[in-house]
Amino acid sequence: MTASHITLECFDVGEDEDAFPPSADYKKGFEAGCLHAENSIAAKQQQSMTDVAAALSDMTFGYTEARGILLEQIQPLLVQISGLILPQIAMHCFSEFLIETMEQAFSEATDQAIEVAVEPSIVGDLHLDNEAVNIIPDPTMEHGQARLRRKDTHVMIDLPALLDALQTALHGLDLTKRTHSNG
């Protein structure tokens, strides 16, 4: 068996007798290269941070903005419902609602008479099987209004006022636009 002799180069950190000390131009160029690399890395980091901040700003979609967009899109529907459909439904169903309310409220026999004042045109639509209830026409009442009286107790049912309040609430929904000042 023969062994070949291999010579390896030494990479120790120690002083190399054959090495030349770096020149002033080499040191100057090396420092300029390091400074350029540091500036380039800092500029890339700053650009990355700016890009991330812009991406996060674009992705923000908060509750207020979502609510505003949703309300803006459904507002025409809410206006139609509150302005056209609800009044028709309320006025159409008023007689049935009043009868149901009175039957629930006065289901137990009472020894006191109950007077129900309504608009004269709907008196014929109201039929109750309770003799203690007296339905009377009242020309001061509008369609959708009723006044129930028993001794000193007076209860007013006013659908037009309820509808007005509902329409005011629906029209008053805050649709604040997002601006630079409020984020």
Residues 161, 144: Cα–Cα separation, whole Å: 9
142: pLDDT strictly greater than 70: yes
What number is the average pLDDT over the span 117-126? 81
pLDDT band at 109 (very low <50, low <70, confident <90, very high): low
| 49-97 pLDDT per residue, tens | 999 988 877 776 666 777 788 888 888 888 788 778 877 887 778 777 7
Q: Residue 118: what pLDDT? A: 85
pLDDT band with cut points at 50, 70 and 90 for residue 174: low
Domain boundaries, the chain: 91-171
Residue 95 and residue 125: Cα distance in Å, rounded? 7
Task: State the DSSP code for 116.
Answer: E
Interatomic CA distance for residues 168 and 79, integer angstroms: 10
State the Cα–Cα distance between residues 17 and 100, nearest whole angstrom: 112
Greater confidence, 83 or 130?
A: 83
Q: Tell me, what's the pLDDT at 105?
A: 66
Please compute the mean of the pLDDT values over residues 110-118 and round it to a whole number. 77
**Percent of the chain clearing pLDDT 70 (strictly above):** 78
Q: How far apart are CA 126 and CA 113, in angstroms?
A: 17
For residues 124-135, average pLDDT: 74
Q: Would the pLDDT of 145 be above 70?
A: yes
Name the maximum alpha-carbon separation found in the chain: 131
* Three-state secondary-structure class, residue 4: coil
pLDDT at position 32, please? 93
Which H or E run contains 46? helix 24-59
When the candidates are 3.40.50, 2.60.98, 3.30.2320, 2.20.100, the CATH number that belongs to 91-171 is 3.30.2320
Which run of H or E residues covers position 135?
Answer: strand 133-137
